[in-house]
Amino acid sequence: MIKKLFKKEKQTFDELDLRHLAIIMDGNGRWAKEKGLPRQVGHKAGVEKVKTITKACSEHGIEYLTLYAFSTENWNRPQEEVNGLMDLLVVFLKKELDEMHKNNVRIRTIGDLSPLPDKSKQAMLNAIEKTKDNDGIHLVIALNYGGRDEIIRSIKSLAADVEAGNLQVEAINQENFGSYLDTHDIPDPDLLIRTSGEVRLSNFLLWQLAYTEFYFTDVYWPDFGEEALNLAIDTYQNRHRRFGKV
């Protein structure tokens, strides 16, 4: 078992072998419903939690944090809710960007940004540009992202290279296929956390999660704080990853 160190009542982990943490942030609507509040209040509370978890992951030395913010299927939600989510993205970046930049956070995205409203897309692109030279934790926001969509987009790009003579069919393998993915320069997640009690991937990082450890919790995302994060990391630390070996 990895030794745990405690300092000023904050839990840290010695020799933490966790470079990339991915989270499916689920349960905002149910959190709000149980409190008799509109769903949008739950989404707002969920956005606030992003700052808390990003800071905690940075303190633990985690290099990449990927958050499933808006899926390709989320466009099917009521238009009012979709508009509210897009507005929340703008508000969050406007409020937190300067501080995240000051704390050396690098903001990135995966997914297809082209269908986003102009103000949401521009806010995201501005955040990416402003933080592109930071070398702290990479905050990767999965926005209009779907695992199947990513794979199809990658196959189209690969096929175009084959057609142009830049790649031979016989040369296609896992490594060069991965170079066409949105995550081409990001290591596969070591740990996936899904909140709210749901136990499925929901079209998230389907290629990249092949050997990722999964952790499911009943805690709704707005209630998922440092203590819940530390419990997930502690559980991960006590697992043995074999990658197909004995």
Give pLDDT, residue 242.
Answer: 73
Give pLDDT, residue 119.
Answer: 97
> Annotated catalytic residue: which of 17, 26, 126, 176?
26
76 is catalytic: no
Q: Average pLDDT for residues 22-32, to the nearest whole number?
A: 98
**Tens digit of each residue's pLDDT (9 = 90 or more) over 52-106:** 999 999 999 999 999 999 999 999 999 999 999 999 999 999 999 999 999 999 9
Residue-averaged pLDDT of the chain: 94
239 CB-contact burial (10 Å; exposed 0-12 / middle 13-18 / buried 19+): exposed
CATH architecture for the domain at 17-237: 3-Layer(aba) Sandwich (3.40)
> Annotated catalytic residue: which of 14, 17, 28, 74?
74
Question: For residue 191, what are the CA distances in angstroms to 9, 58, 169, 231?
Answer: 24, 15, 33, 13
Dist. CA 131–CA 152, nearest whole Å: 29
234 is catalytic: no
Residue 16's CB is within 10 A of a number of other CB atoms, namely 15
Backbone φ, ψ for residue 68 (5° rounding)? -80, 95
